[in-house]
Each structure stands twice: as structure tokens, then as C-alpha cells.
Structure 1
Amino acid sequence: MEAGPRRDPDPDPAHRNGPGQHQDQLEAQQQALVEHLKERGFLRTARIEAAFRAVPRHLFLPGVPSEEVYRDQVIPLKIVDGVCISSSSQPAIMAIMLEQLGLEPGQRVLEIGAASGYNAALMAHILGESGTIVTIDIDEDLVEGARAHLEAAGYRQVHVICGDGAQGYPPAAPYDRIILTVAAGDIATPWYEQLKPDGRLLLPLVLRDAQFSVALERRDDHLESVSVRFCAFMMLRGPFAEAGGIFALGPRTEASPALQLRLNNYQPVDVTALYRDLAGPWYDLPSGVLASLHEVHYGFNSWLSQQEPTACSLVAQREHPALTELPWLFKVAGLEARATIGIVADNHVALLALPPGWRVPASGASQSGQVACEIMVRCFGGAEYLARRLLSLLRSWDTAGRPASWLLMPGDDRLRLRVYPLHVPCPEKPTPERLIFTRRWSRLVIERQA
């Protein structure tokens, strides 16, 4: 049911007794990982490279074989009901985000998402003894584990707090840097308030079905990106997790919800009523539009987000008996997740679906998404007006020549984002090259540059 970090940094006492063959092996594996990250261009700054060379990751992942610890891979930390809800991130994305963060010795940093404590240790090494780090996590067992790991590695100056990261940590504010190692769909007001005027906020930001690690700095009355990179993180948990237009549907456990409804633009949703519709009777409307899943995913998906304020996606993070009849169009690469898209209004939803009995061909993954089929529109709860609205939008996209998409996979080096708190007027208007999403506390302006 659940696996969490252990207190003992190494269960074999012989491995803790000074230099020796085992220690030499660990050192060699650690340095090989650093060389791998350098060769791939993820480590560019000397201070960050030195931190990866100095901080032993295996002390933060007790019980995990060292050959796995020092691979460039994600390591699960906590699993509940078969779902991983906390992990030690892939070293490559940790290096990318530390480069984005731009740490300087002596700074004050807030990390939201303590996990194993390894990332906090890397930052502590970069900041030096004059720096201050507060790292916060929502689960007490993870907090206890991170404290034990940090102490074992000699980074006792890191303050590990149990709490809701959406609230930040006011006692140590303001911060030069705030970093999230979990994804969010909005910018929480406390993060604005606790960031210094010349500070930097770095977070994995959910933009529809994609995530981008975005480094933001203040520009007068708003935040503006200085770096954007593609990423994939687990979602922030706690009450704020639904504030940006990301709603949990269906029965919950301590783990991530079985279903997530993700909205472009925030609107209140009765999750009980909506889930009741999804679990009830439905029927499909034929569209007459023959398209591949690749075209729908990278074309209609983003076109819909530009044309329709009520556009949404539905994402399942694992198989579930109650979800067998839902119309999954896409499997999210590298994750045990499936998704489809549609529109939501008046606590009803209409979603795109596949023809009855149609299955993605068993050919190579790179070709299977190119096979065309008729796209259906599924009506739930008798709300045919909504299904026919989605049907009309799909046909309009087809008639318009199936405009190509840029939102989901634009090349992260070409994206620019600006974030305006809702109480600040947004001076910009949507264009074919600029999307504006309204969340509960912010407006997100996403623009592609040539």
C-alpha cells in the first residue's frame, strides 16, 4: 500500500565505515552520473556541477540499489494504492531547474515539495553556510524522512517544515528564490507576496495537458518568464490543487485522484454532479470528421483552447473499473495516464471519443497515431446541447483546414509567459500567437516568439 523514506541512510553498517571498496563504487557511480549530465548539456554552471559531485544521492534514497540511485531516472518515494504520490526527481530535470533558478551564495530560498531532501541539499551546497533554505511538504512521513536524510548528509541548516506549500512559509519570508518541485495550474497569492521584488519564482506550470518549468521575475505589476523548459511532475496536493482549474473527480484516497478535470479557464464545478454524469448513461454522436489521433492531439486540441473558453481535458492517472467506458483518446507518454478533450459547462461535460470497437493499431507507436478514424462526440447526462456545441467546433476546425497547433509542443525555447494577478488589469488581447487563460487568482498569457 505505502512505501516511504526510511530513517537509516544505509542499512548495512559496513558501508558506513570510511573509505573502502563499496564507498569507491558509490563515488564512481556518482561521478559517472555527473559526467552524463554534463555530456547532455544539463550541467553548465560550475557551482551546480560541484553540488552534484559533492552531495551523495544514495544517502537520500536508503534501501534503493546504488546502480538505480545513480541512473538518470525518477525514484518513487511514496506509493499509495498503486499510485506514486512523491518521488525523487530525475537528476536531469533537477539540473535544468537549478540552472533556471540562478542561485547565488547567501540567498534565502523556499522549496515547495521536500520529497527526499536531495534537492534541498544540492541548493544548500550552492548557497553555502550564509544561505537559508526552508523546504516544505504536506506529508509528515516525508518531512521526517527528509530531515533524517539531510542530517545524515551533513546539511542540518535546511529547515524542513510540514505544511501546505500553497501557503508558502511566512515566518522566513521574503525569499530571493521560491521553487516548486510539484506542478500547479495557478500562481498562489502567497508566492507573490513572499517573493522579494528582485526575486525569482520557478515552478512546473500546467498548460492544458503539457507542463513547463517556468522561471518568473517581477516586471512592475506582473511576472514575466525568463526561462521556459518542458517538464513532467506530479501535481501539487492539498486544497490549492484545484484552485487553478484542476479538479479531482470521483472517489479520493490519499493518493492522486482517479480522474482530473483540467480547465483552460477557471469556473466553479460541482464535482459530485459532474462525476455522476460521467458514471451514468451516455451516447455518441458521429461527427463525419475523419482524423488521426495525432491531428486531434496537436491540432484540434490547441485550436479548441483558442476558440472556446470552456475547453477542458479529462485525465486518468491509472486504470479503474469505473472508468472502462470513458472515451480515452491519448496515452500520455512515459506516464500511466490517459486523456481526452472536450468542453464543460453547467456541470455537464461533452468529450471526444473513438468509434465503437476501434483500437489503436498494433504498429509502431510513431505510426499508430497517424491512422485516421471517425471522431465521435460523447454526450453525458442528456446534455445534448453541449455535445452538439463540441460537434460544431470539431467540424469548424475541419472546415478551416485543420490549423496546426503550437501550444502543446512549441519548442520550449520559443515560449514566453506573463502572469497577471486577477486584481491587475491585463492589457493584452488574444491573438493567433497569444493565448490568455484565466485561472482563479491569475491570468496566464502564453505567447510564441519567432
Structure 2
Amino acid sequence: MTSMTSSGPEDLRDRMVENIKQAGHLRSSRIEQALRTVPRHRFVPEASAEDAYANKAITIKPGENRPASCASVPTVVAMMLDQLDPRPGENVLEIGAGTGYNAALLAELVGEHGQVTTIDIHPDVTDHARTALNETGYGRVRVLTGDGALGDLEHAPYDKIIVTVGPWDLPAAWFDQLAPGGRLVVPLHWRGQARSVAFVHEDAVLRAHDSQLCGFIPMIGIVPTGEQTRDITTDVALYWDADQPIDLDALRNVFTGTDTTVWSGATVVPNEPFDGIWLRLTATEPGTCRLAADDTALEAGVCTAAFPYRTPALVEGDSLAYLTKPRPVEDAGERRYELGATGHGPAGATLAERLCEQIRAWDRDRAAQPTITAYPADTPDDEPAQGLVVTKQQTRLVLSY
């Protein structure tokens, strides 16, 4: 059978796994086998089998402006499991039960001698997960209803913790309940971006050398949020963190004057990702934040942001610069696009050049990642390592190359 509509769930599941492998998000044979074993379609019974195995998220609980709970994109599921690396016999905690599908994968990976606990704040979500897990043979998974920010002390310590909702901060309970040497994989938000960070608990801190671009529903409950937003001008908004001294009044007229665009010399081919630039900015430029421009603002030429709602920007006083829309260049007949930055305000040109410096640094080593160290908020000031500090309510992040 070759038709997508005529293929059975097993064929669709194998095709899903092959697509994940082609995307480069499946390096573990154990995780591959788990993905081939767990029947994803039975965790999303209201979706068609084709949708269940497509590379897209599936909403299971609608919210007011965005879904309250969903089944994550399969490539992201595989990527995060690869970061987590669950082993047979381990004790794993999942924050965000969703459909129960990820907990079933975890149960496959830790085996009958391991333990999996999944927790969600929504009772109807945990009811759904419990039912689906029971019906698919994973009744041994422990399903709890509660605020994931508190973890589950009763069954701690955990060898691994995986978070499948998007927190802005790292609650103290996750530090306390993760065993020394244990791993925490969490889609953390900072400086306007969200990345799945693979932390290891060592020397009373969490330290990571790997993070991957992702997007998750924001976490609710007692976990604090510190992202702020406000329109700079009509149809253009800025998002920044609470520890950043952003003065929006100083930027009120930033788009009314002339602008300066600086080109970096670094190029990409069509559809080539360059999210590493944003990551590098968060480790080198304290004023890194996110610019969101509606299509109307882009069409009117108010700004030329690279992406409508998620473009990295630098802000300093009454000036800003952002990653600008790449321009096409000819390179031996190959379609390529040059990356650059556009600045507005008195120091706009300087900020644009600084942003381009980081583009060039990324271009010299596109695989380089900063070390991200998370310290509890009460850590003495003289203790954290050298690097750019991101101060949250319960955590201080230090990023350094």
C-alpha cells in the first residue's frame, strides 16, 4: 500500500519513525524501537490514524487563546527522549501528562523494573492519560493530578525528569527531587526563545551543554513567569525578561527615524535553520529580546524583521536592532541568502553591527553551544561561574562559550 489514506496504523507508525530518522532526531535504536512499539493513534482516539502519525501536534484540550494540552510533534518527542536517554530500571518523572503517549514511551524505555510517574495540573487530562495507558497495556505508569512545579516528593529521587510544558523558571522542587548525576530535560524560556535544555545535576547545580529549538504550551500553576511584553508602535511588540532594564518609553519613536542595515557576509541555503544565532546572542548580549511584527507592519515597511512573530533583537536605551529579512545572493548558481541586521535609533547602526558580529561568530562554528548552568536563586553572588547572567525568580542562569 502506498496511499496515505489506505495504510494501516502499523504502516503509518513505521513511516513516522522513518521521517523522524530523516530529520536527524533519532540516534538511539532503543528509542526507535519504542516509537515503533507504542500505538500513538490509541492515545489520540478523536484524530484519524493519518493525523495521529503525522509530524504535527494534536490538541486534546482547547484553551482560550491556545491549546491547554496537546500531543507533541513526533520529531520533538524523539529529540527530547534522545536528550533524556532513559535507561532500564530508572525512576523517571514527567511533568505534563498530555495524552499519556510520552509516558508509555518512557515505560518502554525503563522496562518493567523501572518506574514512570507523570503529573498534570488538569484533572480531565490525567483522566484521559490514565484511560489510554490502561487500555494500551501501560497500567504500571503512575498518573497524578497536581501542579508539576511541585514535582512528586513521595517517589523521589528521580534519575530523570522530563518536562513537556514550557516553564519560564526552574522550580526548586526539580533541583531537590533530581538525584545527583540525574538529568532534567526542559523546554525553558529565556530572552524570548524556548529551547529544550538537557541539564545534568552536578555539584548542586544544573549544567547543560546541549539545547535544541522547540516550542511548548506555557506552563501554568505556581511556577513564576517573568516575560513582559508591550507594543513599541502599532503592530510591533517587544518581549523581554523581568531582569532586563528595558525602557519602552525611550523606544516610543524608534521606528520614526532612519534605519541602517548591516550585512554579515554569512549565508544560508533555503530552509537552513539559523536559530543558533539567537542562542549565541543570549550568551553574549544582555539586551537580547524578541521582536514580534504583524504582517501589516512588515508590508508597510515599518520594520523588516526576519520572521513575523519571533525575531531576535538587541535593545539598548533608545535604540534597537533585529535580525533582518535575509537578502538573496548568487553563489555559483546556488540559491543562498545573506544574513544581516537592521538598526533603529541613535545607536541603531552600532547595535546592528554587534548583532552581525554574533552572526559571524555563529558562522565560524555553527555547531557550537554555550554551557548553561542553572543555580538556585539563593546561591551567593560570588559563587556562579563567569558568563552572561539571566536572573529569574527561583534560578540564575549563567551562559558562557
- Normalising by structure 1, what TM-score? 0.68
Q: Is the 8 A contact 1:299 1:403 kept in 2?
A: no
CA offset digits 1:175-227 (Å, max 9, x no partner): 11110112333322111011111211111223424333222112213222254
Aligned to 1:93: 76
- Normalising by structure 2, what TM-score? 0.75
Aligned to 2:92: 109
Aligned to 2:344: 376
Aligned residues: 379
Aligned-CA RMSD value: 4.5
Deviation at 1:116, TM superposition (A): 1.0
Decide whether aligned partners of structure 1 residues 284 and 419 sit closer, same or farther in structure 2, where only a CA change above 3 A counts.
same
Aligned to 1:446: 399
Instruction: Summarize the alignment of residues 209-220 of structure 1 with structure 2, pairs less than 5 Å apart.
Output: 209-220=192-203
CA offset digits 1:63-86 (Å, max 9, x no partner): 211112112332233333452343
Q: Is the 8 A contact 1:328 1:353 kept in 2?
A: no
Q: Describe the SS at the equivalent of 1:171.
A: helix
CA offset digits 1:380-426 (Å, max 9, x no partner): xxxxxxxxxxx43x333356694233798974563432222233344
Aligned to 1:266: 243
% same residue = 31
CA offset digits 1:334-358 (Å, max 9, x no partner): xx8455746499xxx976699xxxx
**Residue 32 of structure 1, aligned match among 6, 12, 15:** 15
Aligned to 2:369: 414
Partner Cα separation in structure 1 for residue 361 and residue 190 of structure 2: 8
Aligned to 2:289: 312
Instruction: Summarize the alignment of residues 331-346 of structure 1 with structure 2, pairs less than 5 Å apart.
Output: 332=307, 337-339=309-311, 341=313, 343=315
Partner Cα separation in structure 2 for residue 240 and residue 401 of structure 1: 32
Q: Is 1:143 aligned to 2:94, yes or no?
A: no
**Residue 290 of structure 1, aligned match among 242, 261, 265:** 261
> Which letter does structure 2 place at the counterpart of 1:420?
Y
Deviation at 1:167, TM superposition (A): 1.8
Deviation at 1:94, TM superposition (A): 1.2
Q: Is the 8 A contact 1:93 1:231 kept in 2?
A: yes
Q: Is 1:192 aligned to 2:175, yes or no?
A: yes
Q: Is the 8 A contact 2:377 2:395 kept in 1?
A: yes
Q: Describe the SS at the equivalent of 1:395.
A: helix
Q: Is 1:396 aligned to 2:350, yes or no?
A: yes
Deviation at 1:60, TM superposition (A): 0.7
Aligned to 1:134: 117
Deviation at 1:158, TM superposition (A): 1.6
Q: Is 1:246 aligned to 2:203, yes or no?
A: no
Aligned to 1:167: 150
CA offset digits 1:91-116 (Å, max 9, x no partner): 12211211221212222111111111
Unaligned runs of 5+ in 2: 232-236, 267-273
Decide whether aligned partners of structure 1 residues 293 and 190 sit closer, same or farther in structure 2, where only a CA change above 3 A counts.
farther
Q: Is 1:428 aligned to 2:385, yes or no?
A: yes
Q: Describe the SS at the equivalent of 1:414.
A: coil
Deviation at 1:447, TM superposition (A): 3.1
Q: Is the 8 A contact 2:263 2:338 kept in 1?
A: yes
Partner Cα separation in structure 2 for residue 69 and residue 218 of structure 1: 35
**Residue 162 of structure 2, aligned match among 157, 176, 179:** 179
Partner Cα separation in structure 1 for residue 282 and residue 143 of structure 2: 39
Decide whether aligned partners of structure 1 residues 188 and 247 sit closer, same or farther in structure 2, where only a CA change above 3 A counts.
farther
Decide whether aligned partners of structure 1 residues 330 and 234 sit closer, same or farther in structure 2, where only a CA change above 3 A counts.
farther
Deviation at 1:163, TM superposition (A): 2.1
CA offset digits 1:38-78 (Å, max 9, x no partner): 45443333332221121100001112111121123322333
> Which letter does structure 1 place at the counterpart of 2:239?
L
